Structure 1
């Protein structure tokens, strides 16, 4: 059995299947016992934590009833009476995800540099949201949740420093912006951001970030930034050569590893904060295809989760061991975002080169190719990597042209594209990402709704409404996630009733999501704007008839 507290409270059986903990007070009891990590908790303390200033009439019997319900869920041998109260009997050291997280972080501290980053990434991948997310407002979890959050931030800072040393500053500038905004007073985190911005050629933004921290510290605490951060600020002002990396190319594209020690595949794939649900079949298909096919395009409607599937598939491929009989990528798996690109092939080639940090690797001299696409091809000719070209529909023609150039001239490069339409190249294999099946849609909605509204639970009262929501939203993951954020304010039944006008209801996305994913209307508009005028006319006409629509009728 495994217990999860790094996010909403979760219990899994030995086969990895979720175990339902029946109601809020029982879940709170389990959380309270987990907070104490196998130590006894007094009955009076448990009663106070569960009911606060309004305990039930016979509080001892009420607590015993909740203990009995918890025992039925996790096993009688797990919840043990131990004077003056109860304890949760835990098994192996890694049975609780928080313990696994701490163990991995400790191992990373004494590991060799080439394995430290992998251990830190594995530790951070255990997080599914804020610690004890269901009970974030409860006093009994506050200290434990704060302690875990501090440990998580320390690991994130260490991981960012390692990535910065390896040349990942281009990606770090974006990833650190939100983290610094949420934790503006952490000087170690701010230092990594300043160096990343400076290395990305954004010196003025680095200086502005330092000034923002300096004013905040002065206004709130009457102090100045620490000496290390102040020294970094002066080095940025001087453009000190000590700030430059030995090589601007990412580690995967350098060939300076010690003899006999293969590089771990490098990647800029973002760590995921939530579980991927219902995509086992398409992931297995991608794993099989990318063993032999050099261009695979994931296609499907907006919001269906093409990018998430592509990132998950690429991450699995990047973890294959060197020398594997199956396809592996010693030069890494890299995500290149085309959503904000509007130029031609040259602009896309520059975006790929910037992501890979290839400015120092392109050939120089009078005979060197001048066009950005030709320079990119020359730099990748001997590389073995997987490129994930995301959101190609915005630039379908130039993206297809660039992919064709790379595939012809760089035989070790494979391309996994995401698009709402095929690229139309010879050798392209299409892989359809479909809406979720009903059971998976319900599971996704329930998990996201629980994270947004800790008191929400899928039970006999809410199951019918949740099934109706998932049916009306056609199993589209983005729509389900947008809907899940409204459960806290509306409840499942009211949300289902209001979905007659889904564009008005689904308007509250996650902060940090791309603009096209903030609302359902924005997602639809993204597709609509790709259509030419004749296509828009036809689509408006298709919206009028009710019932079926055959090919003959459409023609």
Structure 2
């Protein structure tokens, strides 16, 4: 649910969400109390069912507004505004109704796409199998499928078939017996020059129908099959549409301005065609590129030196935007003949998983390469060439630049295909984007950094001015409090362009000062992106969800536990805090390195070596996951014990000649030391940790370069001090916590920090802590 300003509304409890789903399924009609009680509790109602239902109604009213849930004699009902278009299902039906009479197929497809973009997931996802909403969920799912079929037919009619075949193949795999969907797929495959696959798809359906239902395909589908065999000319769109500016993964289909036959080997009865003019399907940006002048210069140099350049960086940092700008500049500045076959943008985000053959199919469709393209030369590939080998053969003599976008979720397949293409086609260059490198020999990796503070402010101001009439574009335009608020917004959003764009759309409703004040709850505030943007870029949460879903379970554990640190940590602390259930201590370094490669963890120099830090939005997301999925007490135990050990080891060193490196080390850990002390004080006040738990091995940071677990803390552990492990790596039994023991823990840490506070003049912090 979202409110009128696009902020997500979370309904807190399963029974309350079930109540909302039940009322929504009745389209504003009343539902009796008895029916609601049965739907919510089934055959095991609470002792006072009427009172329990009223409590759930009250909870729902507090979330969505008291006047939204009405009590009528016939029961409870949801009240909608006139027309009901605040409900996605109602808006969906209205857009579909508006689209159907439109004669222009492109316009009709655009309206149907807009309707489909309202779907954020399965209808009634949490309760779709519940008997009280099952019929409504199935009805909506069927309506969506029918509209997907209509949209596919409209796109085919408009000549937009390049990526449609790949999209339809996924739908057909999930709904293999839907003939209308199969018809659209067969036509799209044939129009993309993949006749053999279209005929294979028909045979697959015919076999399924015979084996599962004992029937034959419909006469209409059989007639299409015969038309494909005869290669009737009316089945193929000869003139592709002009490039579209609609920026949606569901609708943006790379187009071309030349017939795909121009890329084929000449038939025996033809003369060689004249060279085709340079072609491209690179998207045309709708907004200015801010703060990337140096990056574009660096990329131009890399593209002139390396055949494979990969842009990496965190989600939302602008990898795609920069890649398109670099490819456009490369195409426009190419010497005569250097890019004779143009620059092409290939989008992989529609493939959540895939093999190199799946990716090759997308590339071939984008470039208009047909099934009858040139075969590999003898001895250069398998006896029966696969689609990737046929694609490589078709590109063998071309001079072109491929932009392979969003490789992170198919990185292995993308690497396999890219290596084959580069090895086969000497005139090919590849510019890839992803959250990690492809890992190929000769690859030049370019890290796309967040914007510098001044550039971040300029971009935010430009986007906010575009979305909010009267808002100044000049960074010096606002008054001093607003300038400070803008600076804070840009700093807290880490200079990530997508996050800044999402924030800019909220200025009209909130103003910059209120927006800055609400960023502590950023995932509820930044929930409304530009219409037509891919779903993964519609909200800040969706941006990070996209990266999270690509992680293995151990990688997720380490990312969650890293969020327990404040302002980053060194390797010793990461090993001490992140090791535990699900992750061994000796695995932390490799898993942390994987997170760095995936652009979720930032590495910076520290006094004892590298420090690992999370961007603020990633840290907020990982903290949420930590609270949802971890034993917080165990993680906090390890954090507290590690930093207490560090403070106790450092305390005598600060009194000697070698105090300088230790001061630097404690300065770097100031945030973590404060967090650890706050936790110790909290426990002392609460009489113990939030929940009993076995602390893991906190180790000891020791001296720079020493392994965690050595030194003073190890000796203390072996002495059997309360609450600490008896031996490094072997958890001891913590004694029952009580208020006195927890207070002693807090005093130990404060005492160990006293000399550091004094040397650094942190007297206010010392007084507050003591």
TM-score with structure 1 setting the length: 0.57
In 1, are the aligned partners of 2:69 and 2:76 still within 8 Å (CA)? yes
Give the 3 Å change call, closer, same or farther, for CA 245–140 of structure 1 in structure 2: same
Give the 3 Å change call, closer, same or farther, for CA 99–32 of structure 1 in structure 2: same
Count of residues in Structure 1 that have an aligned counterpart in Structure 2 = 401
Give the 3 Å change call, closer, same or farther, for CA 41–313 of structure 1 in structure 2: farther
Aligned partners of 1:170 and 1:349: how far apart in 2? 13
Give the 3 Å change call, closer, same or farther, for CA 267–74 of structure 1 in structure 2: closer
Aligned partners of 1:484 and 1:341: how far apart in 2? 19
Deviations 1:199-228 (A, max 9, x none): 333333222221221222223322211111
2:43 to 14, 30, 53: 53
Give the 3 Å change call, closer, same or farther, for CA 40–79 of structure 1 in structure 2: same
1:480 to 548, 559, 568: 548
Residue 160 of structure 2 is aligned to residue 171 of structure 1: no
The aligned counterpart of 1:104 is 95
Give the 3 Å change call, closer, same or farther, for CA 429–26 of structure 1 in structure 2: closer
Segments of structure 2 that go 5 or more residues without pairing to the other structure are 253-284, 300-308, 325-342, 371-394, 409-413, 452-493, 500-518, 528-540, 555-559, 562-577, 612-703, 706-770
Deviation for aligned residue 1:69:
1.2
The aligned counterpart of 1:252 is 242
In 2, are the aligned partners of 1:268 and 1:333 still within 8 Å (CA)? no
Residue 63 of structure 2 is aligned to residue 95 of structure 1: no
In 2, are the aligned partners of 1:132 and 1:141 still within 8 Å (CA)? yes
Deviations 1:449-502 (A, max 9, x none): xxxxxxxxxxxxxxxxxxxxx9xxxx965552257999xxxxx99x99645269
The aligned counterpart of 1:31 is 21
Deviations 1:248-267 (A, max 9, x none): xx3015xxxxxxxxxx5367
The aligned counterpart of 1:265 is 245
Aligned partners of 1:48 and 1:341: how far apart in 2? 48
Aligned partners of 1:350 and 1:482: how far apart in 2? 23
Residue 218 of structure 2 is aligned to residue 226 of structure 1: yes
Give the 3 Å change call, closer, same or farther, for CA 215–402 of structure 1 in structure 2: closer
Match of 2:29, SS state, is: coil
Aligned partners of 1:51 and 1:351: how far apart in 2? 48
Give the 3 Å change call, closer, same or farther, for CA 219–420 of structure 1 in structure 2: closer
Deviations 1:285-336 (A, max 9, x none): 994307997959798657x33699738998xxxxxxxxxxxxxxxxx99535
The aligned counterpart of 2:140 is 148
In 2, are the aligned partners of 1:265 and 1:333 still within 8 Å (CA)? no
Deviation for aligned residue 1:160:
1.3
Give the 3 Å change call, closer, same or farther, for CA 227–300 of structure 1 in structure 2: same
2:366 to 355, 364, 381: 355
Deviations 1:403-426 (A, max 9, x none): 79xxxxxxxxxx99668579999x
Match of 1:81, SS state, is: strand
Alignment of 1:108-507 (within 5 A): 108-113=99-104, 114-247=106-239, 250-252=240-242, 265=245, 269-270=249-250, 287-289=287-289, 301=312, 304-305=314-315, 310=320, 334-336=345-347, 355-357=366-368, 373=398, 389=405, 391=407, 432=450, 477-478=545-546, 480-482=548-550, 498=581, 500=583
Give the 3 Å change call, closer, same or farther, for CA 193–498 of structure 1 in structure 2: farther
Deviation for aligned residue 1:123:
0.8
In 1, are the aligned partners of 2:11 and 2:17 still within 8 Å (CA)? yes
Aligned partners of 1:28 and 1:136: how far apart in 2? 10
TM-score with structure 2 setting the length: 0.43
Deviation for aligned residue 1:140:
1.0
In 2, are the aligned partners of 1:269 and 1:335 still within 8 Å (CA)? no
In 2, are the aligned partners of 1:295 and 1:416 still within 8 Å (CA)? no
Deviation for aligned residue 1:88:
0.7
Give the 3 Å change call, closer, same or farther, for CA 401–236 of structure 1 in structure 2: closer
The aligned counterpart of 2:3 is 13
1:77 to 63, 67, 91: 67
In 1, are the aligned partners of 2:398 and 2:427 still within 8 Å (CA)? no
Structure of greater relative contact order (alpha carbons < 8 Å, 6+ residues apart): 1
Deviation for aligned residue 1:170:
3.3
Match of 2:77, SS state, is: strand
Deviation for aligned residue 1:99:
0.8
In 1, are the aligned partners of 2:186 and 2:201 still within 8 Å (CA)? yes
Give the 3 Å change call, closer, same or farther, for CA 403–203 of structure 1 in structure 2: closer
Match of 2:71, SS state, is: strand
Deviation for aligned residue 1:237:
2.0
In 2, are the aligned partners of 1:299 and 1:421 still within 8 Å (CA)? yes
In 2, are the aligned partners of 1:350 and 1:372 still within 8 Å (CA)? no
Deviations 1:496-533 (A, max 9, x none): 9645269999xxxxxxxxxxxxxx98x959969xxxxx
Aligned partners of 1:211 and 1:32: how far apart in 2? 43
- TM-align CA RMSD: 5.6
Aligned partners of 1:499 and 1:440: how far apart in 2? 30
Higher Rg of the two aligned structures: 2
Aligned partners of 2:551 and 2:179: how far apart in 1? 37
Deviation for aligned residue 1:145:
0.9
In 2, are the aligned partners of 1:38 and 1:90 still within 8 Å (CA)? yes
The aligned counterpart of 1:548 is 609
In 1, are the aligned partners of 2:315 and 2:435 still within 8 Å (CA)? no
Alignment of 1:492-531 (within 5 A): 498=581, 500=583, 524=594
Deviation for aligned residue 1:28:
0.8
